[in-house]
Amino acid sequence: MTEQKNDRMYGLGILKGLGLAFRHFLQTYIDDFRHLGKRYKTPEGIAYRSSKDVSGIFTVQYPEEKLPVPEEFRFIPFLVYEEKDGQIEYRCTSCGICAKVCPPQCIWIVRATDPNTGRPIPDPAEFYIDIDICMNCGYCAEYCPFDAIKMDHDYELATYDRKDNVYDKAKLGKPVSYYASIRPVNYQREEKARREAEAQKAARRSIA
């Protein structure tokens, strides 16, 4: 008796599930007609399909179309540099913390040395990341004390040659303006914290 009842219940569940899938399927056409000509291949269409209001089933015509990624999306890390008087200045001090915390150990850094004294200086002479090994965890960016390494949004990195996937310092470097453009909320928060820390330092100096 109980088995028959369960069968009936299970059968109803399947029908309900199919009904739901069918409703979504129909909704696709309703949505297409509602946004006639605007749902596909337009920036507004992509914005709509990325929104919570979207209904029905849709196809993203990649690579012609790309859904925008959220700010916290992370792919391969990049090195942030400042542009001062036409010169590039990497924020990295070659402290090596990122290389230490990287779980698959895919970061290699060579610290620069002073040509006169031979002593190490806080600047990376070389910086490599093997992007085939990187697991996109973001630990390097989380632990860097200088906001010098950040996670990129660019995911179109396919190459034909394995050697091209070991990125050097030049390939990893991107200006701070790029960082601000892909992660505006994070950038503003860090800049605010930096300004506050500088103001506190200045206040301590004036008291001393």
CB-nearer residue toward ligand SF4: 44 or 191 = 191
Residues lying near ligand SF4 in the complex (CB under 6 A): 77, 92-98, 102-104, 106-107, 109, 129, 134-140, 144, 146, 148-149
Q: How far apart are CA 175 and CA 150, in angstroms?
A: 11
- Collect all residues with Cβ–Cβ distance below 8 Å to 125 and sequence separation of at least 6: 94, 110, 111, 112, 113
Q: How far is the CB of 193 from ligand SF4 (least distance, A)?
A: 16
Nearest distance, CB of residue 173 and ligand SF4, angstroms: 11
Alpha carbons 112 and 101: distance in angstroms, whole number: 21
Residue 103, preceding peptide bond in cis (omega within 30° of 0): no
Helices (H), 35-57: 43-49
Least distance between ligand SF4 and beta carbon 88 (Å): 15
Q: How far is the CB of 90 from ligand SF4 (least distance, A)?
A: 8
- 101 or 180, CB closer to ligand SF4? 101
Q: Which is nearer to ligand SF4, 46 or 102 (CB)?
A: 102
Q: In angstroms, how far is CA 48 from the centroid of its own chain?
A: 22
Query: Among residues 40 and 108, whose Cβ is nearest to ligand SF4?
Result: 108
Q: Which is nearer to ligand SF4, 46 or 144 (CB)?
A: 144
Please give the backbone phi and psi of residue 184, each rounded to the nearest 5 degrees, phi first: -60, -35
Tokens representing 124 are 């990376």
Least distance between ligand SF4 and beta carbon 180 (Å): 18
